Amino acid sequence: MLLVKYRMIIMFLIVLCGMISIAAFNPIIGPLSRNLGLTEIQSGCLVSVAGFFWLLGGYFWEKRTFLSKKKLLATIMLVYLLTLAGFAMLADYAETNVQDSTVLFWSFLLLRAVAGFFFGGIPSIAQAYVMGWTSKETRTRGMALFGAANGLGFVLGPAMSGGMAAVGLTTPMYAAALLIFVMTTLFFMSIPDEPALKVDRQRSSLSPIDPRIRIYLCIGLVLSVALNIVQVTIGFYVQDQMGYDARGAAQLIGLGLAISGIMVVASQIVISNYLKWHPKRVLRAGLLFVALGLLGFLLFIRVAYVDFAILGIGIGFTLLGYSAGSSLAVQDHEQRSVASFIAALQGGGSFLGPVAGTALYTAHMAFPYSFCMLLICLCGVLVVRNGAVIARMKKEFEG
């Protein structure tokens, strides 16, 4: 039992650090792209292409059987960290030596595509490990741990990145590569080799539009899109609204995202230990705080740290609400499908959010945050309406 818990912790850390590394790119792309002469739309494409290939890679690597699970995951992690370091080195070189921004953009785009494709294998194979180590009785908890690593990493990554960007805009990329190297080494030393991945031919037929879970997945996708929009455009927004240079903007964003990450963790601890709320109630509170945080960016950017704190509370509530709600809504044999859907939400948000956000920002700097507020408010209406329908059905049944 202790051995299984230890291995689960290792896998949790691998997924968490992987998510931190992929999300660490978002806050620095705005200031970095302006330093290198790239446009807002190009910077959004560099994030979106990784999200698109992340989805493709997750599907591809899950079905590979030519190597043992251990060798396959270690190889994927090593190639992925090389793309992270390669991007950082090219950016450093380009700052003083490259004049053609078009060639630079396409080189960056290729590196991001390869990074996303190989990164997609990390959560896919990690999930296969978790499924193999858990029984029917413990699988729900294992999948919940897997989901928590995905969600927290996507918040903590930008926080780490923003703080390190004060040293240098490419520093977070080197740090992310080092983090993946450490986790690869820990994985190789701690997890025994196993046979090649078995392709599951009898997967649950659970659909993402199943009425039991579709509202939770919809909210999760909207939150992921909104987070990507905020993370990718906030660098431009702070510079243009407050007159900061690239390094000053990175410092403000770093501390703000760190505050947001702390509030995410703190709010989830409070919910788990003290508030025994139903997931829909958690979602209503979370979506309200997210909307208030976005409104703060629009109206009160001068108190940005307060906006980040409110947004962090909302993210923490909403992450836990939709992941717990979708897990509780299905049966044990459907947990893997739900976990796959939840893991794909971050990839979908990374694909859809950045280009949409930078396109909106090009039109007007307030449009990305107004658009996100609209999406969040629509989700809130869906949650309230769905709760009212369930309450009415329950009352009719009891009557």
Closest C-alpha to 178, from 164, 162, 196: 164
Per-residue pLDDT, averaged over 107-136, amounts to 86
Please report, for the domain that includes residue 212, its CATH number.
Answer: 1.20.1250.20
Full DSSP string of 209-241: T-TTTHHHHHHHHHHHHHHHHHHHHHHHHHHHH
Residue 201 lies in a domain: no
330-343 residue pLDDT tens: 887 777 677 778 77
In the three-class reduction of DSSP (H, G, I as helix; E, B as strand; rest coil), residue 296 is classed as helix
Answer yes or no: is pLDDT of 147 > 90: no
Answer yes or no: is pLDDT of 382 > 80: yes
Residue 277 lies in a domain: yes
Residue 29 lies in a domain: yes
Q: What percent of the chain has pLDDT over 90?
A: 35
Q: What's the domain range around 92?
A: 2-193+208-398
Answer yes or no: is pLDDT of 285 > 90: yes
Residue 198 lies in a domain: no
Q: For residues 320 and 148, give the distance between their C-alpha atoms in angstroms, rounded to a whole number.
A: 8
pTM for this prediction: 0.80
CB atoms within 10 A of CB 335: 24
Least confident span in 26-30, 184-188, 266-270, 390-394:
390-394
More confident residue, 166 or 284: 284
Least confident span in 64-68, 109-113, 161-165, 347-351:
64-68
How sure is the predictor about 393, in pLDDT bands with cuts at 50, 70 and 90? very low
Q: For residues 179 and 254, give the distance between their C-alpha atoms in angstroms, rounded to a whole number.
A: 18
Per-residue pLDDT, averaged over 211-220, amounts to 91
Per-residue pLDDT, averaged over 2-25, amounts to 86
Least confident span in 154-158, 223-227, 293-297, 308-312:
154-158
What pLDDT is recorded for position 201?
46
Answer yes or no: is pLDDT of 200 > 60: no
Q: How many folded domains does the chain comprise? A: 1
Most confident range (mean pLDDT) of 186-200, 272-286, 355-369 is 355-369
Residue 200 lies in a domain: no
Residue 163 lies in a domain: yes
More confident residue, 191 or 143: 191
Own/partner long-range contacts of 330-333 (Cβ < 8 Å, ≥24 apart)? 330/206, 330/210, 330/212, 330/213, 332/136, 332/139, 332/140, 333/204
What pLDDT is recorded for position 141?
67
Answer yes or no: is pLDDT of 37 > 70: yes
What pLDDT is recorded for position 397?
47
What pLDDT is recorded for position 61?
83
More confident residue, 338 or 368: 368
Residue 11 lies in a domain: yes
